[in-house]
Structure 1
Amino acid sequence: MELQPQAESVQAQPVKKSALLYKLKKNKLTMVGAVILGVIILAAVFAPVLTPYNPNMIDAANKFQGPSWSHWFGTDEVGRDIFTRILYGARLSLGLGIVAILIAAGIGLVIGTISGYFGGMIDQAIMRTMDMVLAFPTLILAMALAAALGPSIQNAMIAIALVKIPVYVRLARSETLSLRESLFVKSAQTFGIRPFRIIRKHIMPNSVSPVIIQGTLDVGDAILLIATLGFLGLGAQPPAPEWGAMISIGWKYLLDFWWYPTFPCLFLFLSAGALNLIGDGVRDVLDPRSSR
């Protein structure tokens, strides 16, 4: 009956949060990414305070107005304020990208640990299915799933989550294959603890670090995928202020009204770049092998 405390005592001790924050702060590029992303998130949260316009309000008399004090990023083809639409669009693009990766990482962690722990036919069936998904290019498969589910921002998020799951399954499985040979897992098995309890209490907590690292790196990619699906008409539908949908319409006017597609592209670039910088910093902190 004394197994559980003993088993848990031999597990790797988690790194203190203060130590993680200290290491992240020492990485200047990570802090630059955090500042950029923080400014964009705060601007999106306080959008009603920062701009007096409705993101979907049509003002045909002021269409295609250039950047000015009244319209910082100009207006679009129906007179909507582009700065306002970008701020409200950040809620969609950033929020749905993060949610998609959280769904993929959570499902992948569960499936991967089960596959690695039980092995045998269960492992073979799961991994061959994941290999089939990975055989298709991510964007092509996401497009096919989004088209099959129907064009909408929610379906685009689901499609991206589904195509990202195999990556996390493989990561969690590889960690589980080594962890199941560890002393604390062998001890738990000897004392008759049920497999799913071992997975939940011992395997998953020790497999989560590589999943977190991959997740921080994948959020930027997910945001780009959501924008791409929106650009292709498979994501957000008009008049939703989503960056990809704005670029899809705006690029047609690039030569005459450069500000229309430029500013959504700029915010998309800054968000994806900031998330990649943060992901690199998290990887350096949580994965000691990356600094060697």
Structure 2
Amino acid sequence: MESKIESNYSLNKKQRKKSIILYKIKKNPMTILGVSIIGIIILLAVLAPYLTSYDPTKISILERFKPPSSKHWFGTDEVGRDIFTRVIFGARISLTAGISIVVISGAIGALIGAICGYFGGNTDQIIMRIMDMILAFPTLILAMVLTATLGSSLINAMLAIAIVKIPVYVRLSRGEALVVKNNLYVKAAKTFGLSNLYIIVRHIIPNTITPIIIQLTLDLGDTILLVATLGFLGLGAKPPAPEWGTMISTGFKYMLSQWWYPTFPGLAVFFASAGFNLIGDGLRDVLDPKSVR
């Protein structure tokens, strides 16, 4: 009977917590705006084959440089490809790349940071000095150097950006782990003889995950912008892939005469980046008790 009452109390407590979080999100109009923007972009990406009858890579010279119209909503490019089609198919590339990068870098960084914070000692000092060395370089410059070294391609660009992003999560996770490892439940787990691996996976990482989630969301916008920047510089996806940065790079040469060519892919990058930043700000206000609006 007592266990049933405790279970119901725990369930009601979780439901109240979810209700409070949803209430805070609804009270923040900028977060709602961010969710709406990203929701629309994701919907366009998922439904891309059903929203257009054009092939994103098919050339049609007779249709080259057509201005925006009812036939081609965003106009056409230098070889007659429909820009609206390329933008919504490009959303698949940019969103997949951005999400993959932050998930990989966040997971690796959170694990390394938790291990460093839990064990401390010389290993912690060596790893953190390596992270400091990476952070000493400007993010874009280091990503460019790594991509150029590995070879210009979308996969290598994603790998380079993930490497550059890892130290942020390591420092964040380590700082939280230093606090969590001194809690009574962690000390009790050590007393009962539980393994270090079990304590890290079961107690340290779950209790340091909230700031990681917030940082992941905030980094999504920046990551999509970095992917587009490397594409613009010729270090990312290669034509004819409908990647936003590559489209802007090619269209920039025709900016004065065919303004629509670089404008619409540029707006796609802007809205995706802004949308994720708004969501990240909202999550920080909701989930981080130390944040002050």
Over the aligned positions, Cα root-mean-square deviation in angstroms equals: 1.6
The TM-score with structure 1 as length reference comes to 0.94
Correspondence list, 1:53-202, <5 A: 53-202=54-203
The residue that corresponds to 1:247 in the other structure is: 248
SS in 1 for 2:214: helix
| CA-to-aligned-CA distance 1:155-188 (integer Å, 9 cap, x gap) | 1111111100000000000001111111111111
Question: Would the alpha carbon gap of residues 54 and 218 (structure 1) be closer, same or farther in structure 2, given more than 3 Å must change?
Answer: same
| CA-to-aligned-CA distance 1:14-70 (integer Å, 9 cap, x gap) | 984343223212211000111111111101110111110000010001100000111
The residue that corresponds to 1:5 in the other structure is: none
5+ residue gaps, structure 1: 1-8
The TM-score with structure 2 as length reference comes to 0.93
The residue that corresponds to 1:216 in the other structure is: 217
Correspondence list, 1:23-34, <5 A: 23-34=24-35
Determine the C-alpha separation between the residues in 2 that align with 1:15 and 1:220: 31
Determine the C-alpha separation between the residues in 1 that align with 2:236 and 2:276: 21
Amino acid at match of 1:96: A
The residue that corresponds to 1:42 in the other structure is: 43
Determine the C-alpha separation between the residues in 2 that align with 1:223 and 1:43: 17
Determine the C-alpha separation between the residues in 1 that align with 2:17 and 2:223: 29
The residue that corresponds to 2:235 in the other structure is: 234
Determine the C-alpha separation between the residues in 1 that align with 2:50 and 2:198: 49
CA offset at residue 191 of structure 1? Answer: 1.5
Determine the C-alpha separation between the residues in 1 that align with 2:159 and 2:26: 34
CA offset at residue 194 of structure 1? Answer: 1.1
Question: Would the alpha carbon gap of residues 69 and 244 (structure 1) be closer, same or farther in structure 2, given more than 3 Å must change?
Answer: same
Number of residue equivalences? 282
Determine the C-alpha separation between the residues in 2 that align with 1:88 and 1:33: 21
CA offset at residue 285 of structure 1? Answer: 0.7
Determine the C-alpha separation between the residues in 2 that align with 1:262 and 1:37: 19
CA offset at residue 118 of structure 1? Answer: 0.4
SS in 2 for 1:213: helix
Determine the C-alpha separation between the residues in 1 that align with 2:41 and 2:193: 51
5+ residue gaps, structure 2: 1-9
CA offset at residue 190 of structure 1? Answer: 1.4
Amino acid at match of 1:69: S
Amino acid at match of 2:135: L
Amino acid at match of 2:140: L
Amino acid at match of 1:232: L
Alignment identity in percent?
62
Determine the C-alpha separation between the residues in 1 that align with 2:259 and 2:219: 30
Amino acid at match of 2:146: L
Determine the C-alpha separation between the residues in 2 that align with 1:233 and 1:14: 49
Determine the C-alpha separation between the residues in 2 that align with 1:22 and 1:82: 39
Amino acid at match of 2:253: K
SS in 1 for 2:169: helix
Determine the C-alpha separation between the residues in 2 that align with 1:198 and 1:37: 36
After the TM superposition, which of the residue ranges 167-176 and 19-28 deviates more from structure 2?
19-28
Determine the C-alpha separation between the residues in 2 that align with 1:216 and 1:79: 36
